[in-house]
Chains A and B, each alone.
Chain A
Amino acid sequence: MSSSEHTVSHIHRDDIASRMGMWLFLFTELLLFGGMFILYSVYRYNNPDAFHLAAKELNTIIGTFNTAILLTSSLTMALSITAIQRNNKSLSIFFQLITVVLALAFMVNKYFEWGAKFHHGIYPGSDTLLAKPSGEVLFFGLYYVMTGLHGLHVVIGVGLILLMTYYTAKDVITHDNYMKLESAGLYWHLVDIIWIFLFPLFYLIT
C-alpha cells in the first residue's frame, strides 16, 4: 500500500535541477530589489541635493562595520560547505553557527542604527521628517524600506541556516548530499550581494 516506490522525485535526486530552481528563485529576488533600485535611481536623479544632505546623516562607520560582518559571514558560509564536502561534519556545523552569530551581530547593529534615527524623530510619517524637503523624505523612505526588506531577508536567512545546521546534525545533509546547504549558501550570498549595493548607495555616495 504505502510502498515507497512511487513519487519519482524521491528516488531520483537531481542536484542540477535543485540548483537551477534555486538560481531561478534568486533571479526573482534580484528583480524584487530591482524595482526598488529603479525607484532609488529616479529619485536620486530628481533630487541630487536632498539625497546628498540626507546621506550625511547616516553613520558610515556602523555601515562599514556591518559590511565587513556580512562579507565575513559569506566566507564562513562558503567554508561550511567546503567542510561538509570534505566530510567534516562538526567543522561545517561550527562555520554555520558562526554565520548565524555574524548575521545576528549585523541585525544588532541595524537595531542601534535604526533606533538612533527613531530617537531623532526620523522615521516614515514622523513630523520631523515630513518637515524636511521632499527629497529627504524620499531618501529616508527608501532607506527604511530597502534596508528593512534586506533585514527581513537576513532574519529569514538565519532561520534557514539554523534549519541547515539541524539537517547537518541529523545527517540529512552529508558529504555526498549537500545540495540543501549549498542552496542556503546561495541565498546567503544573495543577501550579502544586495547589501554590497545598498551600502554605497546609502552610506558612501554623499
Chain B
Amino acid sequence: MSNKNHNEVSYLEYQGKHKGLLGWILSTDHKRIGILYLISLMIFLTVGITFGLLMRLELLTPGKTIMDPQTYNAIFTLHGVIMIFLFVVPGLPAVFGNFFLPILIGAKDVAFPKWNLTSWYLYVIGGLLAIISILLPGGPTDTGWTFYIPYSVRTGTNVTFALFAAFILGFSSILTGLNFITTVHRLRAPGMTWFKMPLSIWSFYSTAWIQILATPIIGITLLLVAFERFFKVGLFDPALGGDPVLYQHLFWIYSHPAVYIMILPAMGVVSEIIPVFARRTIFGYNFIAMSSVAIALFGSLVWAHHMFTAGMSDTSQLIFSLLTMIVAIPSAIKVFNWVATLYKGSIDLQVPLLYVLAFIFQFTIGGLTGVMQGVLSIDIHVHDTSFIVAHFHYVMFGGTGFGFFAALHYWFPKMFGRMYNKKLAERTFWGVFVGFNVLYFPMFIMGWLGMPRRYYDYLPEYQIYHAISTIGSWILVPAIFLMFGYLVYSAFKGVKVTEKNTWGGETLEWQIDTPPIHENFIEIPTVTEKPYEYKSNDLVTQLSEAK
C-alpha cells in the first residue's frame, strides 16, 4: 500500500510531474488553481485599493489636492477597470469556486482541469494587458470603466489595450462558467441530488450561467469599439450614423447581469457560513436555492435601468422599472431566510460570521437604495451622482467584498492547514467595518444633495462629506492591508491546524483532511442527507463525530 501513502499527501506538498513553482503554474489541480487565483486577485486588489485611496485623497479638498484632472480621470478609470474585471467579477468563483466547488459536491476535480488552468492564464494575460495600457505612451485609459462612446473613440489614451484586456478576461470568465456548469451536472457524488447540494453550489451554478450567456455580448461590444477606433466602422459613432445609446444597451446587457456574477457567489458563501455558526439547519433551503436561479433570470432583464436618462420610450422605462423591482424580491427572500436562520440558533460569533453580519447589514442598505433608483422619478435626480457610487460600493464592496473576506476567514484553515490570530482578525474586522461605512455613507448624502460622480472638482459645501469620506479611507485601507498582512503571515507561519472540522460544519469539505489531499477524497462519499442537518446543537458532539 505504498501507493496509498502517496495518495494521502496534502495538495500543498504533492509532487506531480513538475517541482517547485512549475508544480504550481502548470498544475491542473483545482485547489492549486484556486490558490493561484487568490494570489493574483490579491495583487490586483491591492493595486485597485491604492488607486481608490489616491482618488479619495484628491477629493479631500476642492480643486487640486495632489494630482491634475487628467491623472484623476485615469485613476478612477483604472480603479474601476481593475476592481471590476480583475477582482469582483472573477472574485469568489475563481478562488473559492475553484477550490471548493468540486469538494462540496464530492468530486476529485472540475470537469475540464486543463481549461481551468487556461482560464487562469487568460486572466493573467488580461491583467498584464491592463497594466501595459497604463505604462505605454499615450497614457492610461480615461474613459471610466464603462468605455462610453463617443468619448472612448475620440480619446487618444490607450483605450484599445484596456478593451482587449477586458475581452480576454471575458474569455477567462466564460471558461470558468462552462467548467462549473458541466462539473455540477456531471460530477456530483452519488446521492447528491440537486436539492442536497450546498447552497453555495446553487449560487456558483447560477452565476456560471450568467457568465456564459452574458459575457459574449460584452466581448463583441468591446471588440466593436476597438474596430471603431481602428477602422471607423461607424456602428456606434454618431458622426458616422451609428447610435451611441445602442452601445450603452449592449454594454449593460452584459454589465448589469455582471453585478449578479459578482454578488451571487457572495450570497452563496453567506448561506454556507450562517448555518455553521448558528448551528442550525438553514431556514428555507429551497427558497434560497431557487432565489439564486431567479436572480440570474430576472437580473438579465433589467439592464436598461442604467439608461433612464439616456433617451428611452416611456413604455420601456416602465417595464424596466418594474423588472428592477421584481429582481429585489429574490434578494430579499435570501436576507429574510438568513435572518430567520440566526433566530434561536446557538450563535458562535467568530470572525467569518462577523463579516457575514456586516454583509447582511450593508447589502440591505445597498439593495434598498438600488430599488430607490429603480423608481423613475427618483432616478432622474440621483442619476450620475455619488449616490450611485455609494449604492454600488455598498453592494459590491459591502456585499461581495465582505463576502470574499468572510469566505477567506471561513475556509482559510482548510486551504492552508493553518490558523490566523482570531483576536487580531476580530479587531481588524471592526476597522474594516467602521472604515467602510465612514468612507461610503457620506456619499449617499452628498449624492442626494447633488454631488455628481466622477468629478474632479466640487463646490465648497460638499467638502465636509468628502473630508469624512476620505478619513474613512484612512481607516479602511490600513485595516485591509493589516488583514492581508496577517493572512499571508498565517499561511506560512500560523498555528498548524490538523483537525478536519474547524468550525463544526456539516458540508463535505469539513469531512476531509486539512489541508485536503491531492485528490480530495480517498473514496468518493455517498451523500444521504441535506447539507445543513444539525442533529445536535452541541459543538463538541459535532467535532468528535467528524473525527
Q: Please tell me if the beta carbons of A29 and B216 are within 8 angstroms of each other in the complex.
A: yes
Residues of B within 8 A of A36 (CB): 220, 224
Contact with A along B227-241 (1 / 0, CB 8 A): 100011111000011
Assuming the contacts A6-B16, A35-B220, A35-B221, asked whether A27 and B213 have C-beta atoms less than 8 A apart, the reply is: yes
Residues of A within 8 A of B177 (CB): 24
Q: Please tell me if the beta carbons of B234 and A124 are within 8 angstroms of each other in the complex.
A: yes
Assuming the contacts A20-B186, A24-B182, asked whether A35 and B217 have C-beta atoms less than 8 A apart, the reply is: yes
Cβ of A14 within 8 Å of any chain B Cβ, yes or no, is yes
Stretch at the interface among B107-115, B424-432, B495-503: B107-115
Q: Please tell me if the beta carbons of A137 and B15 are within 8 angstroms of each other in the complex.
A: no
Stretch at the interface among B199-207, B242-250, B458-466: B242-250
- Most A CB contacts (10 A, CB to CB) among B174, B182, B213 go to B182
**Which A18-74 residues have C-beta < 8 A from chain B?**
20-21, 24-25, 27-29, 31-36, 38-39, 42-43, 46-47
Using CB atoms, name the residue of chain A closest to B242.
A138
Q: Please tell me if the beta carbons of A135 and B109 are within 8 angstroms of each other in the complex.
A: no
Cβ of A163 within 8 Å of any chain B Cβ, yes or no, is no
Residues of A within 8 A of B242 (CB): 138, 141
Cβ of A205 within 8 Å of any chain B Cβ, yes or no, is no
Cβ of B28 within 8 Å of any chain A Cβ, yes or no, is yes
Using CB atoms, name the residue of chain A closest to B6.
A3
Cβ of B219 within 8 Å of any chain A Cβ, yes or no, is yes
Cβ of B519 within 8 Å of any chain A Cβ, yes or no, is yes
Using CB atoms, name the residue of chain B closest to A144.
B233
Using CB atoms, name the residue of chain A closest to B227.
A145
19 pairs, A vs B, C-beta closer than 8 Å: A3-B3, A7-B28, A8-B519, A17-B112, A24-B177, A25-B174, A28-B213, A31-B213, A32-B216, A34-B217, A35-B217, A35-B221, A35-B253, A39-B246, A124-B227, A130-B232, A138-B241, A141-B242, A145-B224
Q: Please tell me if the beta carbons of A124 and B216 are within 8 angstroms of each other in the complex.
A: no
Residues of B within 8 A of A42 (CB): 243, 246
- Most B CB contacts (10 A, CB to CB) among A42, A124, A135, A142 go to A124
Cβ of B185 within 8 Å of any chain A Cβ, yes or no, is yes
Residues of A within 8 A of B29 (CB): 7
Residues of A within 8 A of B389 (CB): none
Q: Please tell me if the beta carbons of B109 and A28 are within 8 angstroms of each other in the complex.
A: no
Main secondary structure of the interface of B (DSSP, over half): helix
Residues of B within 8 A of A133 (CB): 241
CB proximity of A111 to chain B, nearest CB, Å:
18
**Cα A28 to Cα B109 with chains together (Å):** 24
Assuming the contacts A8-B109, A21-B112, A130-B240, asked whether A28 and B185 have C-beta atoms less than 8 A apart, the reply is: no
CB proximity of B204 to chain A, nearest CB, Å:
15
**Which B10-42 residues have C-beta < 8 A from chain A?**
15-17, 28-29
Given contacts A28-B174, A31-B214, A141-B242, 14 further A-B contacts (CB under 8 A): A2-B17, A3-B6, A9-B28, A21-B112, A21-B179, A35-B250, A36-B224, A39-B235, A42-B243, A42-B246, A47-B241, A124-B231, A137-B241, A138-B242
Assuming the contacts A38-B250, A134-B241, A145-B224, asked whether A25 and B232 have C-beta atoms less than 8 A apart, the reply is: no
Residues of B within 8 A of A137 (CB): 234, 240-241
> Which of B111, B174, B227, B234 contacts A9 (CB under 8 A)?
B111
**Cα A24 to Cα B184 with chains together (Å):** 13
Q: Please tell me if the beta carbons of B219 and A21 are within 8 angstroms of each other in the complex.
A: no
- What is the interface size of chain B, counting residues whose CB is below 8 A from a CB of the partner? 48
CB proximity of A140 to chain B, nearest CB, Å:
9
Residues of A within 8 A of B215 (CB): 28
Cβ of B414 within 8 Å of any chain A Cβ, yes or no, is no
**Cα A125 to Cα B220 with chains together (Å):** 20
**Which A61-99 residues have C-beta < 8 A from chain B?**
none
Cβ of A5 within 8 Å of any chain B Cβ, yes or no, is yes
> Which of A24, A29, A135, A145 contacts B235 (CB under 8 A)?
A145
**Cα A145 to Cα B232 with chains together (Å):** 11
Residues of B within 8 A of A141 (CB): 233-235, 240, 242
Residues of A within 8 A of B28 (CB): 7, 9
Residues of A within 8 A of B217 (CB): 31-32, 34-35
Contact with A along B152-183 (1 / 0, CB 8 A): 00000000000000000000001001110110
**Cα A198 to Cα B446 with chains together (Å):** 51
Q: Please tell me if the beta carbons of A14 and B111 are within 8 angstroms of each other in the complex.
A: yes
**Which A129-168 residues have C-beta < 8 A from chain B?**
130, 133-135, 137-138, 141-142, 144-145
> Which of A6, A33, A38, A130 contacts B519 (CB under 8 A)?
A6
Residues of A within 8 A of B519 (CB): 6, 8
**Which B35-77 residues have C-beta < 8 A from chain A?**
none
CB proximity of A41 to chain B, nearest CB, Å:
11
Using CB atoms, name the residue of chain B closest to A126.
B232
Residues of B within 8 A of A138 (CB): 234-235, 240-242
**Cα A6 to Cα B220 with chains together (Å):** 39
> Which of B112, B186, B235 contacts A16 (CB under 8 A)?
B186
Q: Please tell me if the beta carbons of B212 and A28 are within 8 angstroms of each other in the complex.
A: yes
> Which of A17, A31, A35, A39 contacts B182 (CB under 8 A)?
A17
> Which of A9, A20, A32 contacts B220 (CB under 8 A)?
A32
- The list of the 3 closest CB pairs from A to B, nearest first, reads A134-B241, A125-B232, A31-B216
**Cα A14 to Cα B113 with chains together (Å):** 13
Cβ of B334 within 8 Å of any chain A Cβ, yes or no, is no
**Cα A141 to Cα B224 with chains together (Å):** 10
**Cα A14 to Cα B109 with chains together (Å):** 13
Q: Please tell me if the beta carbons of A24 and B181 are within 8 angstroms of each other in the complex.
A: yes
CB proximity of B391 to chain A, nearest CB, Å:
28
CB proximity of A49 to chain B, nearest CB, Å:
13
**Cα A134 to Cα B8 with chains together (Å):** 68
Residues of A within 8 A of B234 (CB): 124, 134, 137-138, 141
Assuming the contacts A9-B112, A35-B220, A124-B233, asked whether A20 and B182 have C-beta atoms less than 8 A apart, the reply is: yes
